């Protein structure tokens, strides 16, 4: 057991180093050399340590700056820095492992990864924190609310300042607390009427389930765990998808029988494939510019055994469609900052930069302009994101509608949670209010043919 625990910390270290060198956490953890061959408990512990350390990195680094003799963790080599973060995360937040055992195993992992000098430093720092306690003196909430929240709840200062300015201190604190929770495993049942049967099967497999209050097509597994061991997953009846994302995906419906649907930015297929599964006789054309992400969509497509989906690797800004090709519905789930998904994507808060918001909002508007002609007159254009930022959401949609007079906002035809329908007709769910990922959608109906009323670039 001791060696296994040490290996789990070694796997977590490898993932954290990969993230700091530019990898995404999910991709780093999926790499076979990190976790292959390890048992379920070891994989679970490695994932929990890697994910939790990234979530709380802001506060952990603030503590390290005060207990390191040289002052700045960035001055250390990348492995030692992340070993210290792993050790502090366990001491401060991982109640299931006794602190002294966590220190012992982290020092062992440091010896294996960095030799005696690294293990001596890790041992000295972590035992010093155990002996003397966590340093005090964080920024005052009254005098520096953004500084206080960025340390206490672990996020970049620019993001805390942005949310404090727009939302105020209490709502910002609530949003960050939601970002630091451990979300349940969320499974979208892809075929209508199958939810009760899937729930019974999962419960027979020894896992607890509960229905989502946000999306009627979603089952939640509060204890998490590996979805790939479930029969319903192997048989292609569920997709791993947050309930907020599932809700906005459902806003495309109901569609007429035999509908032709274009799913731009489609991979990995969470929004488009359930439409295809619920629309026999129809056709879904799934397009994405990322070869790696399209590979994941094709994995999901094969598992779900859908024969009414066609795929293409292509850029939605320049769709390879014949002149005059139109669809009954076009989904455009645009690239965005993803700032509504911090609870599930622990590395994201350290990856996104403030300037990305304006850059991605401009890209989203370009995508709307590029795909608008592919919507059949009378058809639907569904715009969606997984961010909470107005520039990428309401402001982008409002600008598109001002420019293109062929489209008007249309309210959803499915029930949405209380507080999710905005006065302008858009739908948004927020982590601190609805308890799921933040997500946004707008249903835009093409009400007439012809050219755009005006376009300003």
**DSSP per residue, 68-118:** STTS-GGGS-HHHHHHHHHHHHHHHH-TTS-HHHHHHHHHHHHHHHHHHHH
With H, G, I as helix, E, B as strand and everything else as coil, classify residue 304: helix
Phi, psi of 36 (to 5 degrees): -60, 140
Q: How far apart are alpha carbons 2 and 447 in whole angstroms?
A: 66
Which H or E element spans position 407? strand 407-410
Q: Are strands 218-221 and 185-189 parallel, antiparallel or unpaired?
A: antiparallel
Q: Each residue of 103-118: b (16+ CB within 10 Å) or e? A: bbbbbbbbbebbeeeb
Q: How far is CA 410 from the centre of its chain?
A: 27
Contact 226, 251 (CB under 8 A): no
Contact 244, 420 (CB under 8 A): no
Instruction: With CA atoms as reference, report the closest residue to 250 among 266, 234, 271.
Output: 271
Is there a catalytic annotation at residue 386?
A: yes
Phi, psi of 340 (to 5 degrees): -90, -5
Q: What is the C-alpha radius of gyration for the chain, rounded to an integer number of angstroms? A: 24
Q: How far apart are alpha carbons 59 and 63 in whole angstroms?
A: 6
Q: Choosing from 155, 336, 386, 436, which is the catalytic residue?
A: 386
Burial of 232: CB neighbours in 10 Å, binned 0-12, 13-18, 19+: buried
With H, G, I as helix, E, B as strand and everything else as coil, classify residue 358: helix
Around 184, how many Cα atoms within 13 Å sit in the side-chain half-sphere?
19
* Residue numbers annotated as active site: 386
């Amino acid at each position: 057991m001791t060696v296994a625990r040490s290996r789990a910390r070694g796997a977590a270290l490898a993932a954290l180093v990969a993230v700091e060198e530019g990898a995404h956490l999910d991709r780093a953890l999926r790499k076979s050399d990190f976790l292959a061959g390890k048992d379920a408990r070891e994989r679970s512990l490695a994932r929990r340590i890697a994910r939790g350390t990234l979530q709380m990195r802001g506060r952990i680094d603030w503590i390290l700056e005060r207990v390191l003799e040289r002052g700045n963790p960035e001055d250390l080599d990348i492995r030692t820095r992340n070993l210290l973060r792993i050790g502090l995360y366990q001491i401060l937040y991982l109640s299931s492992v006794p602190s002294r055992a966590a220190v012992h195993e982290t020092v062992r992992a440091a010896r294996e990864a960095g030799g005696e000098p690294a293990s001596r430093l890790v041992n000295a720092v972590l035992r010093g924190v155990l002996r003397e306690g966590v340093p005090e003196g964080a920024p005052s909430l009254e005098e520096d609310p953004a500084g206080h929240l960025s340390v206490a709840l672990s996020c970049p200062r620019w993001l805390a300042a942005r949310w404090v300015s727009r939302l105020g201190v209490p709502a910002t604190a609530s949003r960050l607390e939601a970002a630091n929770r451990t979300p349940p495993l969320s499974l979208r049942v892809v075929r209508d009427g199958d939810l009760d049967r899937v729930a019974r099967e999962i419960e027979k497999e020894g896992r607890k389930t509960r229905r989502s209050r946000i999306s009627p097509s979603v089952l939640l597994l509060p204890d998490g765990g590996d979805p790939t061991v479930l029969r319903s997953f192997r048989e292609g009846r569920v997709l791993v998808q947050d309930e907020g994302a599932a809700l906005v995906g459902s806003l495309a419906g109901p569609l007429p029988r035999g509908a032709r649907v274009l799913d731009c930015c489609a991979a990995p297929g969470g929004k488009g494939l359930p439409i295809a599964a619920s629309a026999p006789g129809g056709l879904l054309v799934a397009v994405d510019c990322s070869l790696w992400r399209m590979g994941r969509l094709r994995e999901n497509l094969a598992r779900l055994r859908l024969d009414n989906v066609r795929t293409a690797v292509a850029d939605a800004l320049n769709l390879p469609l014949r002149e005059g090709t139109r669809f009954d519905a076009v989904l455009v789930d645009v690239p965005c900052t993803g700032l509504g998904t911090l609870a599930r994507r622990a590395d994201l808060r350290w990856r996104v930069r403030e300037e990305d918001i304006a850059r991605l909002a401009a890209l989203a508007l370009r995508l709307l302009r590029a795909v608008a002609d592919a919507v059949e007159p009378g058809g639907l254009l569904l715009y969606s994101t997984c961010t909470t930022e107005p520039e990428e959401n309401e402001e982008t949609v409002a600008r598109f509608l001002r420019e293109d007079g062929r489209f008007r906002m249309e309210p959803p035809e499915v029930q949405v949670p209380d507080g999710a329908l905005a006065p302008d007709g858009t739908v948004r769910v927020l982590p601190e209010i609805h308890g799921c990922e933040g997500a946004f959608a707008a249903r835009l109906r093409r009400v007439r043919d012809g050219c755009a009323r005006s376009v300003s670039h």
